[in-house]
Structure 1
Amino acid sequence: MKKRLVSITLATTMLLSLTACGSGNSGGAAGTAAPAAPETTAAGSGAGSEAGSEAAAEGAEDYKGTVMLYSSTDEGVIIALKEAFETKYPNVTLDYYAATSGKCVTKLATEFQSGTVACDLAWLADPSAMITLKDDGNLLAYKSPYAEGIDGKFKDADGYYSGARLLLMGVTFSTTTCSDEEAPTNYDGFLGESFKDQIVMTDPTGSGSTKALVYALTNNSNYGWEYFEKLKEQGVELQSSSGSTNNGIASGAYKLGFGVDYNTKNLMAEGSPLGWHDTKDIVAVPCPIGIPKGAPHEELAQLLYDFILDPEGGQAILTQYNITPIVDGVALPEGMMKASEIASLALPIDWVDLAAVSNELLDRFDAIFKN
């Protein structure tokens, strides 16, 4: 155990510039984004003032001010989004707070309690947290025209939030300790004898995507809680973030882990010794956007909401980072499925139920892995 922790520490040092809560660069596009810190508050740079004014759509100059985004999305994606948004709307500055979904929710909760909301738009890791905000009366309804192109499984029927990108869970493995042939292509393969004490998983307490995975598998007759009890017997270890999980696998301390598609693929594009397998049982997580009640710049929040869902705006940017757009109509890289296709194939997740049983789910998970 001590040797494994030393390996992870060394790997974290080497890979810190590659990952914050995933990857800070474009997967397959020329150039890289600035390295991401675990959580950051950034002021706008006024990108593309003269060129942006010339290229901006008619009427774009009429929008003025600053819009604040809280997001668990990879910071490289946010920076690219910021640059494109400020180019289209040259008189609007996009500021952002980048942190884990849990930290974004905690920051929002503090603001709601004090009555001084600074966030105009929240972009979280999974719908369950957004559903809780809705149920507590802390979201404003807004139905973007672009949301019409999103499958009903990935948005709120009442218009309080909408998925804005899709994450797919799967198998991340070390190419130095695990061959492509050995690495499993479905979740039951994690129980193989050769993976004893060689598996890592992000703690679902701090990871919305992993929490969704636990819910999907425990509510599936092929897995259930018995599957996670067997994982415990396999010696599965927990990490606090997907970045730490990737670092542990890349260092060779673990053969494989439960990964997030774009995180792994972006690191692979940068030369990290990682491999990726999609799974037969698809777990898809729509990462939603919503406008907090009390948002100081509601009109600009709606403007940013629309831009993120625009197939020619934010959705097109996502593919450069190996992220699946949630709106069909975007040109996709080879091998990437459309969101509508994923919706028809993915394991069912009742997000309303997940929000209701979230604490119970995490308590039961903790009882298996932390006692």
Structure 2
Amino acid sequence: MGEEAGEVVIYVSEDRVFAEPVLQEFERRMGLRVKAVYDTEETKSTGLANRLLAEKNRPQADAFWSNEPVRTIMLKRNGVLAPYASPNAAVIPGEFKDPEGYWTGFAVRSRVIVYNTKLVKPTEAPQSMFDLTDARWKGQVAMADPRFGSTSFHAAVLFVVLGDERASKYFSDLRVNDIKIVDGNSVVRQMVSRGEVKIGWTDTDDVLVAKKAGEPVEMVYTDQQGLGVPILPNMVSLIKGGPHPKNGQKLIDYLLSPEVERMLAQSEAGQMPLHTGVEVPPYVRPVGSLKPMTFDYAAPAARVEAVVRRLQGILKL
């Protein structure tokens, strides 16, 4: 019966302002009604992942569009996802897709340092994540709560890449340097823009939106001579036993098309395409021009809960 209904249900943790035009275009092209359920900024991706877990025995969604990898991979581990190898996934680089077909990445963004251009000269802006522990930035750095969203992914990546001891010391040093822990990346960007702090950790899309609005901010892709920068793909996956599996596959095919990557690159989010040859505006860095941190996306996903517990102690969350 579900197929005849001509609809598809997708849970979306990508910001609604960026995702909605993409899904509306799919509706126009395919004549299918998209029922989208969006997450909130504070519980970004965590809320929907918990809902999908709770609905595992009676799935309500056909697909999950996550704006970070951790929850998608957790859902795979918990048997919520079904494998689906979209034809459009074939050209996407191997590091951005699950070897068993349970998820595929697209339209990536990066973690960056954002700084206030009225308070920090480009030549003085931190070039490495380790610069944030320097006494000159004491009380002048903001970071979103690492229990949620892209910041929890970032924290787990650092524990994977640096090892427990170095990562624990890094976050301990940030706390000693009086880092401000706030509710979400957008709050980090607002604080930097208003000059309440000089610098912060956030995502490329937050900075690009702020710059377009005329805010006095710029960003640094960190550690380009060293560790590299964490890259966050959007991820899309099929829900096991969802009500409209064929329509779910059609929607996944569409999300993994060069056309959608072009839309997300040209949106204010400025997300970087994984398909080659996609036209991007001048403010979007080609992903190939960045030195990424190297890790398997499954590794931080497996560690994130333990890392969050560790950070609750270190950062007194």
TM-score, shorter chain, exceeding 0.5: yes
How is 1:127-146 mapped onto 2 (pairs within 5 angstroms)? Answer: 127-146=69-88
Q: Gaps spanning 5+ residues in structure 1: where?
A: 1-61
Q: Gaps spanning 5+ residues in structure 2: where?
A: none
- Asked if the contact 1:155–1:163 (Cα under 8 Å) also holds between the matched residues in 2, the reply is yes
How is 1:215-234 mapped onto 2 (pairs within 5 angstroms)? Answer: 215-221=156-162, 224-234=167-177
Quick one: which amino acid aligns to residue 128 of structure 1? V
Please give the alpha-carbon distance, in whole angstroms, between the structure 2 residues aligned to 1:231 and 1:171.
Answer: 14
Quick one: which amino acid aligns to residue 312 of structure 2? D
Task: Determine helix, strand or coil for the equivalent of 1:166.
Answer: strand
1:270 aligns with 2:213: yes
- Work out which of the residue numbers 282, 292, 307 in structure 2 matches 1:334: 282
Say if 1:215 and 1:135 are closer, same or farther in 2 by CA, change over 3 A.
closer
- Work out which of the residue numbers 185, 189, 198 in structure 2 matches 1:242: 185
1:110 aligns with 2:54: yes
For 1:289, the equivalent position in structure 2 comes to 236
What TM-score does the superposition give when structure 2 sets the normalisation length? 0.88
1:84 aligns with 2:30: no
Quick one: which amino acid aligns to residue 84 of structure 2? Y
What TM-score does the superposition give when structure 1 sets the normalisation length? 0.76
Work out the percentage of aligned pairs sharing the same amino acid.
24
> What is the CA-CA distance between 1:97 and the residue it aligns to?
1.3
Please give the alpha-carbon distance, in whole angstroms, between the structure 1 residues aligned to 2:52 and 2:196.
Answer: 36
**CA deviation digits over 1:63-108, x for unaligned, max 9?**
971212211112111121023212212x211221111201111221
1:309 aligns with 2:256: yes
Please give the alpha-carbon distance, in whole angstroms, between the structure 1 residues aligned to 2:123 and 2:314.
Answer: 30
Say if 1:358 and 1:218 are closer, same or farther in 2 by CA, change over 3 A.
closer
Please give the alpha-carbon distance, in whole angstroms, between the structure 1 residues aligned to 2:153 and 2:274.
Answer: 17
Say if 1:63 and 1:266 are closer, same or farther in 2 by CA, change over 3 A.
farther
For 1:39, the equivalent position in structure 2 comes to none
The alignment of Structure 1 onto Structure 2 pairs a total of residues equal to 303
For 1:180, the equivalent position in structure 2 comes to 122
Please give the alpha-carbon distance, in whole angstroms, between the structure 2 residues aligned to 1:178 and 1:302.
Answer: 47
Q: Whose relative contact order is higher, 1 or 2, with alpha carbons under 8 Å and at least 6 apart?
A: 2
- RMSD, aligned CA: 2.2
1:356 aligns with 2:298: no
For 1:59, the equivalent position in structure 2 comes to none
**CA deviation digits over 1:11-61, x for unaligned, max 9?**
xxxxxxxxxxxxxxxxxxxxxxxxxxxxxxxxxxxxxxxxxxxxxxxxxxx
- Asked if the contact 2:68–2:153 (Cα under 8 Å) also holds between the matched residues in 1, the reply is yes
Quick one: which amino acid aligns to residue 240 of structure 2? K
Say if 1:132 and 1:220 are closer, same or farther in 2 by CA, change over 3 A.
closer
